[in-house]
Amino acid sequence: MGSVVSMLPREVVKRDGQRVAFDAGKIRSALLRAGQASGEFGEAEADLLTAQVAKVLIHSFRGAPP
């Protein structure tokens, strides 16, 4: 996922307009909490879903902050 990481946005624009560094770990954490709360999946699936989200971000925003 090394080349994918370099293609991810460097920052995101929050709802209040503030720009902050992009952190895929926050996406993973939210997915993991949802999977554990529902009992549907754990860490391995959260990792796979995080990678899928990263691919969508790369395709959808092409370097612009989401």
Mean pLDDT of 36-49: 98
**Residue 30 falls inside a structural domain:** yes
DSSP 8-state code for residue 6: H
**Residue 31 falls inside a structural domain:** yes
18-22, 41-45, 60-64: which has the minimum mean pLDDT? 60-64
Strand, helix or coil for residue 12: strand
Q: Would you say residue 56 has pLDDT above 70?
A: yes
pTM (2 decimals)? 0.78
Domain extent for 46: 2-61
The confidence score (pLDDT) of residue 36 equals 98
**Residue 35 falls inside a structural domain:** yes
Between 41 and 6, name the one with better pLDDT. Answer: 41
Name the pLDDT band for 55 (thresholds 50, 70, 90).
Answer: very high
Name the nearest CA neighbour of 41 among 57, 1, 27, 49: 49
Domain total in the chain: 1
**Residue 42 falls inside a structural domain:** yes
**Residue 66 falls inside a structural domain:** no
